[in-house]
């Protein structure tokens, strides 16, 4: 996190302790929370009946046909929410309006709902390319991963895996072009032999970015790669 982001976060917590705030979504009184109780309850939580590999809904939580036909490099995925209104507004407020309070709230939701057992050997937020990180000032995946790392006591790595190519933003591309766009975008300089790595990201759409990152991690010895994502975009 940049110095400016840390200062803003400290100031925000200080003000929240003495000045009650309004819900980010409906503007009702929310006390010291980002959302009021009603809006928190209304967030679009993902059904537990999902493919254990890619987190798309399936009957009886069976592995979906796509993952059976073409298994991705990652081993499992769990998500808290469906990527739809109003959860999408919270994610956008974090990424594009720099509302780091959203990261605190959403990161705690990931830690509360998706805490791994046993704890992984390493927690890895999906890296941003250097130009994108400089432009944004922070990595939203890192901010979401912090509460999870604290809750399970696993080390949080932000140095040894990098996104060395500044690719076209995945959200701007058709689904079928995303795997090609992200190919060979990551590099790793740590030996992960035998390690179980937990990858954290904000939104999973096609899974192309997570698949390419898992490919890189396994090429460097990772035994198992699991994803924890805030929200899963559904095909419909």
d(CA 19, CA 140): 26
233 with 208: CB under 8 angstroms?
no
In whole angstroms, give the CA distance from residue 16 to residue 89. 21
- The two tokens of residue 108 are 């705690």
Checking if the pLDDT of 220 tops 90, the result is yes
SS3 23: coil
Q: Which residue has the tokens 């992984």?
A: 120
Interval 163-218: pLDDT, tens:
987 666 656 556 566 766 678 889 999 999 999 999 999 999 999 999 999 999 99
Supply the mean pLDDT for the chain: 88
Query: What is the Cα–Cα distance from 117 to 45, expressed in whole angstroms?
Result: 21
Tokens of 173: 């591309």
Residues 2-44 have pLDDT tens digits of 554 555 555 455 545 445 689 999 999 998 889 999 999 999 9
Global pTM reads 0.86
Q: How far is CA 31 from CA 10, 21, 73, 105, 140, in A?
A: 18, 6, 43, 13, 24
């Amino acid at each position: 996190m940049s110095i400016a982001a840390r200062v803003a976060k400290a100031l925000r917590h200080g003000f929240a302790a003495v000045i009650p705030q309004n819900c980010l979504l409906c503007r009702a009184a929310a006390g010291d929370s980002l959302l009021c109780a009603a809006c928190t309850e209304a967030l679009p939580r993902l059904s537990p009946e999902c493919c254990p590999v890619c987190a798309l809904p399936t009957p009886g939580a069976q592995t979906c046909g796509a993952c059976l036909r073409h298994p991705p490099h990652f081993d499992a995925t769990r998500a808290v929410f469906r990527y739809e209104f109003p959860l999408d507004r919270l994610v956008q407020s974090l990424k594009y309006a720099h509302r780091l309070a959203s990261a605190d709230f959403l990161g705690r939701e990931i830690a509360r709902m998706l805490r791994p057992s046993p704890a992984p050997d390493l927690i890895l937020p999906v890296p941003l390319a250097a130009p994108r990180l400089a432009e944004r000032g922070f990595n939203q995946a890192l901010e979401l991963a912090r509460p999870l790392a604290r809750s399970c006591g696993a080390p949080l790595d932000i140095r040894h895996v990098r996104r060395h190519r500044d690719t076209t933003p995945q959200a701007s591309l058709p689904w079928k072009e995303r795997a090609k766009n992200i190919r060979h975008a990551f590099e790793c300089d740590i030996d992960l032999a035998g390690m179980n790595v937990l990858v954290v990201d904000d939104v999973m759409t096609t899974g192309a970015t997570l698949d390419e990152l898992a490919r890189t991690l396994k090429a460097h010895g990772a035994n198992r790669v699991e994803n924890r994502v805030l929200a899963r975009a559904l095909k419909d």
